[in-house]
Copies of this chain bind each other. A is one copy, B any other.
Amino acid sequence: MSKGNRERTNRGRFRVGSMALLAMLLLPASALAQGAEDWTTDVSVDTLWVLVAGILVFFMNAGFGCIEAGFCRAKNAVNILAKNFVVFGISSIAFFLIGWTLMFGDGNDFVGLQGFMLAGMDNSPLTGDAYQGAYSSINWTGVPLLAKFFFQLVFAGTAATIVSGCVAERIHYRAFMLFTFALVALSYPITGHWIWGGGWLQTLGMWDFAGSTVVHSVGGWAGLAGIVLLGPRIGKYKKGRVHPIPGHSMALAFLGGMILWLGWFGFNPGSTMGISGDVALLVSHIVVTTNMSCAAGLLAATMTAWMVSGKPDFSMTVNGALAGLVAITAPCAFVSPGSAIVIGAVAGVLVVFSVMFFDKIKIDDPVGALSVHLTNGIWGTLSIGLFASQAIPGGIDADGLFYGGGFGLLMNQFYGVAAVGAFTFGFAWVVWRTLKALGGIRVSAEEEYIGLDVSEMGMEAYAKDSVSHVA
């Protein structure tokens, strides 16, 4: 996923390779046959893991839909559910047509340029120099090209779906669909190219194992631009006070949180994009760091909310879990389980105060998506600069501040956060402004009052079960 991972994997391959070389010298024919067969089995095992992990990440779309709908009002539920459903359809098409190539196609430091629509693709799982194709930046993993494509596609879809929470309860359905296409086709893959596609941030030594920045803060920045241009929902900050607008179903929010936690076991551990050889050790490590950070995040957020508001606010429990997950996404392969607990606990505290902060500056984020994905996407990315250790098997090539590495790594992380933030926010601003000029992005006050379900979607989420309906 990241440069470090690539190098680590290459090291692993080298080790296997050197043993194969030894065997080959002794017993050429047998070793050759054996090498070919072992390679094949490893490819299958790696492919199986990447696909299963990708399928888990895909399912996060269900989680985002449930949690966003749960935290919004019933009158907008169909709208937000529909957005979370179509978003992955649009992402699939946009990433297939354009995004994949801009992100992983061979090109320059800023963008990929070759291999649109997987045209003339070689689906073989060859790695390193053996592979002759247009996507050399993702050639450190030995799985079929289409498995790589699918795994990266579900990540792109995640970034897009984060936006839907930010702009909930007041955006035009059509405007959201067009924005999604632009984000996944153009913006997400360009910044992704910088960090995962062989671009300038990767060269610089900025690290993001599974996407705290590449995926989560990108979604957050894009949503922030939308929130600023849309303005708050009617009544949210009436008469200078914050009026909480409670969500309509904590059952949906619970289910959404659980599904996202589930999906993250694909998101982070799957970003090894393999499990053969000693990568199995790393995958196991990441499963544990991911879970421990989430556990710490949910407990810290619960406690913080309890102290601040006097009640163990359940929405903060869920958002605390997600905050812990977002934060550990970048460093999951580079830090110890103990560090993961600290990173998650900080994330859980941060998310509570971030929600309060955004309300204070009248940034109306209905489901807390900014506090989860942007605030903690930044925190998670920076935390590498503090907690990373070369002793952890993730393959990072520098230590964080707390492990004697000084400020160098931390600064690289900061540059990455700032550069991706500036580009994404700017891009999103231009697209939202363009959409606003063309056909408007915000529904009318009347439509907002009635709810988007009736006004935009033409149906209710929970139609009255009229016994007399057909009588």
Contacts and interface: CB of A to CB of B under 8 A. Distances in A.
B337 A118 contact: yes
A355 interface: no
A64 to B, nearest CB: 10
A275 B44 contact: yes
Shortest Cβ-Cβ A-B pairs, 4 listed? A235-B470, A311-B458, A62-B258, A92-B295
Given A284-B51, A284-B123, A465 B73 contact: yes
A29 B73 CA distance: 68
A97 to B, nearest CB: 10
19 contacts: A19-B36, A19-B37, A30-B31, A45-B45, A47-B283, A48-B275, A74-B465, A81-B254, A85-B298, A88-B295, A96-B292, A96-B341, A146-B285, A146-B337, A150-B284, A153-B291, A309-B458, A312-B457, A313-B457
Interface in A241-294: 243, 245-252, 254-255, 257-259, 261-262, 265, 269, 275-281, 283-285, 287-288, 291-292, 294
Given A33-B23, A277-B44, A250 B459 contact: yes
A393 B461 CA distance: 43
A85 B461 contact: no
A246 B81 CA distance: 17
Interface stretch (A131-139, A314-322, A378-386, A415-423): A314-322
A120 B158 CA distance: 37
A262 B299 contact: no
Among A19, A296, A309, chain B packs the most CB atoms within 10 A around the CB of A19
Interface of A: 16, 19-20, 22-23, 26-27, 29-31, 33-34, 36-38, 40-45, 47-49, 51-52, 54-56, 58-59, 61-62, 65-66, 69, 73-75, 77-78, 81-82, 84-86, 88-90, 92-93, 96, 117-118, 123-125, 143-147, 149-150, 153, 173, 233-236, 238, 243, 245-252, 254-255, 257-259, 261-262, 265, 269, 275-281, 283-285, 287-288, 291-292, 294-296, 298-299, 302, 309-315, 317-318, 321, 337-338, 341, 393, 449-451, 456-463, 465, 467, 469-471
